[in-house]
Amino acid sequence: MNIGLDMMGGDFAPLEAVKGVLHYLSEQSTPGRLTLIGDEGQVRAHLSDLQVPTENITVIHAEQVIDMHEHPTKALKEKQRSSIAIGFHLLASEKIDAFISAGNTGAMLVGALFSIKAVDGVLRPTISSVIPKENGKTGLILDVGLNADCKPEQLNQFAVMGSVYVQQILGIDEPRVALLNVGEEEGKGNILTQAAYPLLKENKHIHFVGNIEGRDVLLDSADVIVCEGFTGNVILKLAESLYEISERQNLEHEYFDRFNFENYGGTPVLGVAKPVIIGHGISHAKAFKNMVILAQKMIEKDVMAKMKAELEA
Amino acid sequence: MNIGLDMMGGDFAPLEAVKGVLHYLSEQSTPGRLTLIGDEGQVRAHLSDLQVPTENITVIHAEQVIDMHEHPTKALKEKQRSSIAIGFHLLASEKIDAFISAGNTGAMLVGALFSIKAVDGVLRPTISSVIPKENGKTGLILDVGLNADCKPEQLNQFAVMGSVYVQQILGIDEPRVALLNVGEEEGKGNILTQAAYPLLKENKHIHFVGNIEGRDVLLDSADVIVCEGFTGNVILKLAESLYEISERQNLEHEYFDRFNFENYGGTPVLGVAKPVIIGHGISHAKAFKNMVILAQKMIEKDVMAKMKAELEA
């Protein structure tokens, strides 16, 4: 197993990325091989300063960096020697088994969609977010922004991909799938959810429990919440802001601490053939460590192949 | 001025409605006339028990009640002697100047849309919710569920109606209008928001400040947030659940207390020719009092006529 990590992505790169690597290597009993992509001089200096054991590490030099604010498609095309472009090249050519970056989100999405093939039969890949529930459990919501407009069939596929993901990664057996909606009864909703409901109801690959409303999002009404990427994105960013508000207001409450998305690492792109994980720009060591752990788990459990099997069957 | 109040609507009617009336009459220096619609025996018994001064009160007997779970259109048609049906009849025939109920929301919407005419030129009436901002200020978000699917032109009208409302009712001069979206830059979004943006930008009747994201909803980025009713409804119900969570978790924090929507009374239906205010089923005395105060303010400021003027100009 070989996990590729962009060392130049995020506001605190490369130092926090190197710290994350250190924590990963010291905490995991059977860590995978790591391929660190970035400015070799800087990366090696930090590795040396922090006395990171390097026998399982390869450093690949990247002389360019794609900035947070660059145009994704243009930057990926013009900066072939950037850490993100090299990462996708290594992933596509099977030199690494997963690629992680906390850099330019748009470039990561473009790379995932165009360098790495979608799983056969997937209409559109998707990105998800974990949802901290009031009762201590964790759920998944998808899509959270990759697909601002969706067709009913896409929501139906998100349900399958989300189910496989929470089974394999969150360890939830027979996950309950719900459709986010404006009312509980069948027949409620906008044109999209009205059309998606019957597809979800008849889908034998998921355990569909019906509609849920906004008030249920933070409760334990479902393990997988399916919605188009517009509403999902608004919810995710609102949830992120709750953590910031709780910090500014000195809430210091266990539940609101769980809205610190650094706890969960990053967001995998689901529906592409290989694990691609996108981190938040403000990622610190903890987030980098958790993203590498997530990548390892996705490779070990062969999540992508399991999604393919469920979508094809 | 004569304000009609359904005494039978809500989980704690008619007692909490009568208490709300008492608080309104004792706290307002120049209260309006009230028309209380409901079971006359019960209403008069409570008025007498609570020693409510009745010189400004008319009680209209309604022998039927529309239940919370009845089918709105069917119930309104079949229960002509219900408090909600009588209320709309009185409002349509100008016996009262506003109508308030915490009863069956669907029946209230059907009544507002079909008994009371829409303001000339309004494509679709809308319902809004106040948003408590972290900095202590209050904003408005609309639509929050009446229009689960919207056209760009509707969002543009919501912007005008919301602006007039917050100017007149919340006292905010030159309110900043933002479009809820998945990115800040012009051109971002789903098909709807991409098409709505240029309309809002060119609308001379509003002060448009561009797109805002989910993370900005609780901040002071805008006074009026415009979105379709699907996302708005999910946000509103999620916000309501935050108050319930803060109660269950004993947060006891000033900011989260402001998510108690009883503080704000009810939701007016905007874009219809007369004030119709819909309360939450769990309304207590405070919510009833605040809804009557809101109705009085809407009548005094002639909010509906001002909306009409802005939409026509």
What is the model's pLDDT at position B252? 84
Distance CA(B275)–CA(A220), nearest Å, equals 38
Q: List the A138-142 sheet strands across, edge first.
A: A57-61, A33-38, A2-6, A98-101, A276-278, A267-270, A126-132, A138-142, A224-226, A176-180, A207-212
Number of domains in chain B: 2
A296: nearest Cα among A65, A25, A27, A32 = A32
Signed CA dihedral, B54, B60, B63, B69: sign only:
negative
Between chains, do B234 and A182 touch, taking CB under 8 Å as contact?
yes
How many Å apart are CA B183 and CA B245, to the nearest integer? 29
Q: Average pLDDT over chain B, rounded to whole? A: 95
For residue A248, how many C-alpha atoms fall within 13 Å in the half-sphere facing its CB? Answer: 11
Question: A66 and A136: one domain?
Answer: no
In DSSP notation, B212-266 reads E-GGGTTTTS-SEEE--HHHHHHHHHHHHHHHHHHHHTT---HHHHTT-GGGG--
One domain, residues B89 and B136: no
SS3 B33: strand
B154 and B109 inside one domain: no
What are the chain B neighbours of A182 within 8 Å (beta carbons)?
Answer: 145, 148, 229-230, 233-234
Residue ranges in chain A modelled with pLDDT below 50 = none
| DSSP class per residue in B170-216 | S--SS-EEEEE-SSSSTT-S-HHHHHHHHHHHH-TTSEEEEEE-GGG
Which residue did the predictor score with more confidence, B266 or A224?
A: A224
Is the pLDDT assigned to residue B262 strictly greater than 90? Answer: no
Residues paired with B64 in a beta bridge? B82
Q: Could you tell me the CA-to-CA distances from A11 to A29, A145, A284, B112 in Å, in that order?
A: 29, 21, 9, 52
Structure tokens at B272: 């219809």
* For testing contact with chain B, the best of A180, A190, A250, A282 (most B CBs within 10 A): A190
In a domain, A44, yes or no: yes
Residue closest to A3 by CA, chosen among A295, A277, A278: A295
B159 shares a domain with B107: no
Residues 161-200 of A with CB under 8 A from B: 180, 182, 189-191, 193
For residues B105 and B133, state if they share a domain: no
**Residue B59 within a domain:** yes
Say whether both A225 and A284 belong to one domain: no
Residue B291 lies in a domain: yes
pLDDT at B313: 73
> Same domain, yes or no, for B13 and B100?
yes
The answer to whether residues A183 and A201 belong to one domain is yes
- Is A266 among the domain residues? no
Both B134 and B257 in one domain: the answer is yes
Spell out which residues of chain B touch residue A237, defining contact as CB-CB under 8 Å: 213-215
Position A284, amino acid: H
Structure tokens at A156: 């139906």
Strand, coil or helix: A100: strand
Inter-residue contact A154 to A118 (CB < 8 Å) = no
- The predicted pLDDT at position A265 comes to 82
pLDDT tens profile B151-206: 999 999 999 999 999 999 999 999 999 999 999 999 999 999 999 999 999 999 99
Residue of chain B with shortest Cα separation from A227: B231
Would A114 be classed as within a structural domain? yes
In this prediction, residue A264 carries a pLDDT of: 81
Q: Which amino acid is at A200?
A: L
Chain B CB contacts of A215 below 8 Å:
237-238, 240-241, 244
Q: Which H or E element spans position B61?
A: strand B57-61
| Yes or no, beta carbons of A233 and B134 under 8 Å apart | no
Q: What is the pLDDT of residues B64-80, one digit of tens each?
A: 999 988 999 999 999 99
pLDDT of residue A172: 97
What SS3 class is residue A4?
A: strand
Which residues of chain B does A238 touch, with a Cβ-Cβ cutoff of 8 Å? 214-215, 217-218, 235, 238
Q: Which residue of A has its CA nearest to B213?
A: A234
Are A215 and B228 in contact (CB < 8 Å)? no
Q: How far is the C-alpha of A140 from the C-alpha of A166, rounded, in Å?
A: 7
Asked if the C-beta of B225 comes within 8 angstroms of chain A's C-beta atoms, the answer is no
Residue numbers of the domain that contains A277:
1-122+271-303
Give the per-residue pLDDT at A261.
Answer: 81
Question: How high is the pLDDT of residue A124?
Answer: 93
Do the domain assignments include residue B311?
no
Tokens of B27: 């706290």
CATH number at residue A241: 3.40.718.10
Task: Give the minimum alpha-carbon distance from A83 to chain B in angstroms, rounded to a whole number.
Answer: 25
Contact B221, B212 (CB under 8 A): yes
pLDDT digits (tens, 9 = 90+) for B73-112: 999 999 999 999 999 999 999 999 999 999 999 999 999 9
CA distances from A100 to A5, A281, B85 (A): 5, 12, 61
On whether residue A297 sits in a domain, the answer given is yes
| Model pLDDT, residue B120 | 86
A114 shares a domain with A198: no
Are A117 and A95 found together in one domain?
A: yes
Q: How many whole angstroms separate alpha carbon B114 and alpha carbon B100? A: 16
Are A30 and A108 contained in the same domain?
yes
| Residue A38 placed within a domain | yes
